[in-house]
Structure 1
Amino acid sequence: MSFDLALRLTEALLALALAQQALEHMASPLRGEAALFAPRLALAAALALGVAPGWVCAALLAHGLLVLRRFDGPYNGGSDRMTLLCLICLTGAHWAPEPAWRALSLAYLAGQLTLSYAISGWVKIVNPDWRTGRALRDVFLFSTYPVSGNLRGFAGRPALMRATGWAVMLFEILFPLSFLHPAALAASLVVAAAFHLANAALFGLNRFFWAWLAAYPSLLWLQARLMG
């Protein structure tokens, strides 16, 4: 995958994440939400269409910093951080003065994506509640997200919770190894995307899906560059 293609795909996928966030806020009854996020929706549309992407990324980054001030930080946790990380790296990839620095901006995004999975797996695997399946059981049992009654019943199956928890932990902590072969990386990204989609469908973590997918092209580009 070429640098330009990876950049364009990242922009297009991130535009979907930004549009989703904007639409959620614009549907909010809270005063001022629509006015604050209408510019994000317009800029996301421009980014999706490839209109002046360098300027649009810089404007979206500035808007993201404004939103941070409005909510006293990344109130939606990891998805907000990944969105801002993508915007910072895209802005750098467009505006850095040297080609090597522009490439480094996209490579940094790929590195942070890899670390996001590996560190998440490590944090889980050193937690005894995750190793026994209790943590995942509690997610199903006590989650405030719209988990149906039938899905909550899985909390009463400790062997399933333990096996599923270990599958998640091992996949995350071993994710960096997928970088060793193109087929392994492609398969791992498919599994990771399915994981985020399941979290969106089951637990309402819908913002994570597009935010993380937006960083996938950078990893495919970096692997192709290093192995080519």
Structure 2
Amino acid sequence: MSFDAMMRLTEVMLALAILQAVVEHIWVGRDRALFASRVLACVWLLTGVYSGFAVGGLWLTSLVLLHRFGGPYNGGADKMTMLITTCLGAAHLFPSWADLAMAYLAVQLVLSYFVSGYVKLVNPEWRSGQALVDVFRFSAYPVSERLRGWADRPRLLWLMSWSVIGFEVIFPLTLLNPISLLAGMVVAATFHLTNACLFGLNRFFWIWLCAYPSLIWLQDRLFG
């Protein structure tokens, strides 16, 4: 994948992901003007005309949202949104450093999986499956009360725990080959989709996918 194609695909995916996340605020809730400005920036970004300015608009409104809600109100999804807009913005603002900016995005994506997996690996509750038992039994995340019954299936949750740990820890190795990278991204996307279905974390699915083009580009740059 060429650098220009990667940049454009990232911009389009980012615009669609943010649109999906903010359009609800136009009809319900406060700060409608702020979210409407994000919608306009997304539409502008989709046109591809002076897209750097549209990225800058998304970056500024993301910063305002961080102040407005005292931090990322949607957790990691908002952090990844800020990371992607920052890297895209840096690539547009400093063309001579554009490769480095997008490579940084790809590296951070890889680390988001590896570090998460390592933290789980050294945690005895994750290794035993108890962490997921507690999530299903006590947390507010399951999208239905019926799913709480999974807390009574410790063997299944132990298998799920080790499946997540395994894929996250070995994810960096998928960079060695384009086929393994494709497989790794499919597994990772399935993981995010599962989290969306089980726990309602739908925004993680869309925004993490937005960083995948940078990973494809970096793999080709390093090993292609």
Same fold (TM over 0.5): yes
**Counterpart for residue 24 of structure 1:** 24
**Counterpart for residue 226 of structure 1:** 222
1:79 to 70, 77, 80: 77
Give 3-state SS (helix, strand or coil) of 2:74's partner: coil
Report 1:54-73 matches (<5 A).
54-73=52-71
Counting aligned pairs with the same residue, the percent is: 56
Give 3-state SS (helix, strand or coil) of 2:161's partner: helix
**Counterpart for residue 122 of structure 2:** 126
Name the aligned partner's letter for residue 14 of structure 1.
Answer: L
- Contact preservation (8 Å) 2:135, 2:141: no
**Counterpart for residue 152 of structure 2:** 156
Shift of 1:52: 1.8
* TM-score normalised to structure 1 length: 0.94
Shift of 1:191: 0.8
For the residues of structure 1 that align with 2:46 and 2:194, how far apart are their CA atoms? Answer: 25
Which structure's relative contact order is higher, taking Cα pairs within 8 Å and 6+ residues apart?
1
**Counterpart for residue 5 of structure 1:** 5
Give 3-state SS (helix, strand or coil) of 1:75's partner: coil
Which range moved further: 75-84 or 48-57?
48-57
* TM-score normalised to structure 2 length: 0.95
Name the aligned partner's letter for residue 213 of structure 2.
Answer: P
1:150-191 Cα offsets, whole Å, 9 max, x none, are 322221111111111011011101100101111000010011
For the aligned residue pairs, the C-alpha RMSD in angstroms reads 1.3
- Contact preservation (8 Å) 1:140, 1:147: no
Shift of 1:51: 2.8
**Counterpart for residue 107 of structure 1:** 103
- Contact preservation (8 Å) 2:121, 2:127: yes
For the residues of structure 1 that align with 2:27 and 2:169, how far apart are their CA atoms? Answer: 38
For the residues of structure 2 that align with 1:164 and 1:38, how far apart are their CA atoms? Answer: 40
For the residues of structure 2 that align with 1:125 and 1:28, how far apart are their CA atoms? Answer: 41
Give 3-state SS (helix, strand or coil) of 1:54's partner: helix
Query: How many aligned positions are there?
Result: 224
**Counterpart for residue 172 of structure 1:** 168
- Contact preservation (8 Å) 2:142, 2:148: no
For the residues of structure 2 that align with 1:39 and 1:205, how far apart are their CA atoms? Answer: 24
Q: Which runs of 5+ in 2 are unaligned?
A: none
Residue 136 (str. 1) matches residue 132 (str. 2): yes
2:181 to 185, 195, 199: 185
**Counterpart for residue 93 of structure 1:** 91
Give 3-state SS (helix, strand or coil) of 1:65's partner: helix
**Counterpart for residue 47 of structure 1:** 45
1:205-227 Cα offsets, whole Å, 9 max, x none, are 01101110000000000010112
The runs of at least 4 consecutive aligned structure 1 residues that moved more than 6 Å come to none
Shift of 1:146: 4.7
